[in-house]
């Protein structure tokens, strides 16, 4: 008994040490210069917690540990392969998948733990019946009301996260079986509400009847309803809102892990899941504020349809320029603000953009990058791309500092950004973007927009910026056009 107590205390201390690493890692990941280091610190914390848990569960048995090491090696290889091979444009899809993996892992852990305890309960009950000394089975195997409630919640949140993440992946990937635009039908919201209420009630019923043999049926029903809920919740959300959905699903995966931690009485899972859940909710709140929308509006508003309604009735013609003309204007400019968007990510143009900025800086130009919180398809998408190209952190400006610089800028160079530069957000009350904080690129003296066409962005509405007198469109692939701009500057 003393040896077991000592082992438990040591394990708790290891979990606390891992939790400290998680906290420091999250803190470092909040700033661009230390983000990569924070990721490594958090990974070390997770490795320590995982190794300690498996060692404690196996009692140090060599054969069991071998299987654990093999499983970790297989998972590590798959994760490394995914991380190194994925294109930056597909990074949001990978994040969605990883969120889903976390959700299904929590669901499976909760269900497996219930099955193990329920089997043990039946065995203990049979033995006690033979001995003629019946006693509550939960006293022996831990099927208490609290653990059953946590099991139900872990299953519910994990199932929603899993199927919701798969739908998010399909929308981001552009698969045929999941349309990018919102899929909404009559009665969808009442169905969602009913499934959610019934699922939570079943969790309460399980908690209130820990010795009931029908709890297995209730848990099975929770699994089915959770999987359906995940589909219904995300299928009705459009591509324009996917950055918020990714952050929310990340929070769900953390909450599911925390519930699984309560099921297993594992402090590391509880702490880690709580940290992920809280940080995901904070990020979701930040993203909603950046879009000037409530979370309920994101979940049920259906923005992102390609119908094109609600935008300004654009009149006039867009003015087209060549890379040669744009290079001449850039040569005469003193301050240039580069506004990256998803088009830059698609074209993998970040290195060409860095080269162009270098040419401008050689000529004594001041160059900044204006980063909108929801530019791209996931939080921090543009920051990661530009950091990959070696862009210095101090020239990456957030929304407010960017808008302070834009009226003083000679040129705003917009590379594939659409909705986050749409002036309708300031002036058109009928626009679905109205009230959303945008980058005020139209207030620069000259605006060059590099884009393949005049097609709308994720919100499905036309951008009147393209038809303003101070805007010039440079059509073509972003990487090719930016490279041509840099070459033209070298020749001037």
Same domain, 297 and 332: no
Q: What is the pLDDT of residues 223-232, one digit of tens each?
A: 999 999 999 9
For the chain, what percentages of helix, strand and coil (3-state, to nearest 5) are there?
Answer: 70, 5, 25
Q: What's the predicted TM-score (pTM) here?
A: 0.79
Same domain, 262 and 339: no
| Whether 308 contacts 462, CB under 8 Å | yes
pLDDT band at 305 (very low <50, low <70, confident <90, very high): very low
Last residue of a domain, one of 237, 268, 301: 301
Regarding predicted confidence, which is higher, 261 or 375?
261
Q: What is the pLDDT of residues 307-342, one digit of tens each?
A: 445 555 666 688 899 999 999 999 999 999 999 998
How many other C-beta atoms lie within 10 A of the C-beta of residue 450? 29
Same domain, 288 and 327: no
Same domain, 374 and 453: yes
Q: What is the pLDDT of residues 398-436, one digit of tens each?
A: 889 999 999 999 999 999 888 889 998 888 878 777 888
Residue 38 lies in a domain: no
β-sheet bridge partners, residue 370: 397
Name which of 83, 89, 233, 226 is nearest 167 in CA terms. Answer: 233
- Domain range for residue 215? 86-301
Residue 312 lies in a domain: no
Same domain, 114 and 222: yes
Give how many domains the chain has, as a whole number. Answer: 2
Burial 148-183 (b: 16+ CB within 10 A, else e): bbbbbbbbbbbbbbbbbbbbbbbbbeeeeebbbbbb
Last residue of a domain, one of 249, 267, 301: 301
Chain CA centroid to CA 255, Å: 14
Same domain, 281 and 333: no
Same domain, 267 and 138: yes
Same domain, 108 and 253: yes
| Whole-angstrom distance, CA of residue 344 vs CA of residue 376 | 9
Q: Which residues are catalytic?
A: 419
Residue 76 lies in a domain: no
β-sheet bridge partners, residue 411: 336, 446
Last residue of a domain, one of 271, 301, 331: 301
């Amino acid at each position: 008994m003393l040896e077991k107590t000592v082992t438990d205390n040591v394990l708790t201390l290891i979990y606390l040490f891992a939790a400290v690493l998680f906290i420091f890692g999250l803190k470092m990941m909040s700033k661009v210069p230390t983000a990569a280091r924070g990721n490594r610190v958090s990974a070390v914390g997770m490795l320590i917690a995982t190794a300690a848990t498996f060692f404690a569960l196996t009692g140090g048995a060599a054969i069991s540990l071998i299987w654990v090491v093999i499983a970790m090696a297989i998972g590590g290889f798959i994760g490394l392969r995914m991380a190194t091979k994925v294109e930056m444009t597909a990074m949001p899809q990978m994040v969605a998948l990883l969120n889903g993996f976390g959700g299904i892992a929590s669901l499976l852990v909760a269900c497996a733990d219930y099955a193990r305890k329920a089997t043990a309960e039946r065995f203990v009950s049979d033995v006690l019946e033979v001995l003629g000394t019946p006693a509550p089975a939960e006293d022996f195997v831990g099927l208490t009301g609290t653990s059953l409630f946590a099991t139900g919640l872990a299953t519910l949140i994990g199932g929603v996260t899993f199927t919701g993440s798969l739908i998010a992946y399909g929308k981001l990937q552009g698969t045929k079986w999941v349309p990018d635009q919102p899929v909404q039908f009559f009665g969808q919201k009442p169905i969602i509400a009913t499934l959610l209420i019934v699922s939570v009630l079943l969790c309460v019923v399980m908690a209130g009847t820990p010795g009931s043999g029908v709890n297995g049926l209730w848990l099975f029903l929770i699994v089915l309803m959770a999987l359906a809920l995940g589909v219904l919740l995300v299928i009705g959300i459009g591509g324009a809102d996917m950055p918020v959905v990714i952050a929310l699903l990340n929070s769900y995966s953390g909450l599911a892990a925390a519930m699984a931690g309560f099921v297993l009485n594992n402090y590391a899972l509880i702490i880690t899941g709580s940290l992920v859940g809280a940080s995901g909710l904070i990020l979701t709140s930040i993203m909603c504020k950046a879009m000037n929308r409530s979370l309920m509006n994101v979940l049920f508003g259906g923005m992102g349809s390609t119908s094109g309604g609600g935008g300004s009735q654009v009149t006039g013609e867009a003015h087209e320029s060549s890379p040669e003309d744009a290079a001449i204007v850039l040569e005469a400019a003193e301050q240039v603000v580069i506004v990256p968007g998803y088009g830059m990510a698609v074209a993998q143009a970040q290195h060409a953009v860095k080269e162009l900025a270098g040419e401008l800086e050689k000529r004594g130009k001041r160059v900044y990058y204006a980063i909108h919180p929801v530019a791209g398809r996931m939080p921090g998408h543009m920051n990661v791309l530009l950091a990959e190209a070696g862009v210095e952190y101090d020239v990456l400006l957030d929304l407010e500092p960017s808008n302070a610089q834009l009226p003083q800028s000679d040129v705003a160079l917009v590379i594939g950004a659409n909705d986050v530069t749409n002036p309708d957000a300031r002036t058109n009350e009928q626009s679905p973007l109205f009230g959303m904080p945008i980058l005020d690129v139209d207030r620069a003296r000259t605006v060059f927009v590099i884009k393949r066409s005049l097609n709308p962005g994720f919100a499905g509405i036309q951008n009147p910026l393209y038809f303003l007198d101070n805007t010039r469109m440079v059509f073509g692939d972003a990487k090719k056009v930016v490279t041509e701009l840099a070459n033209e500057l070298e020749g001037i």
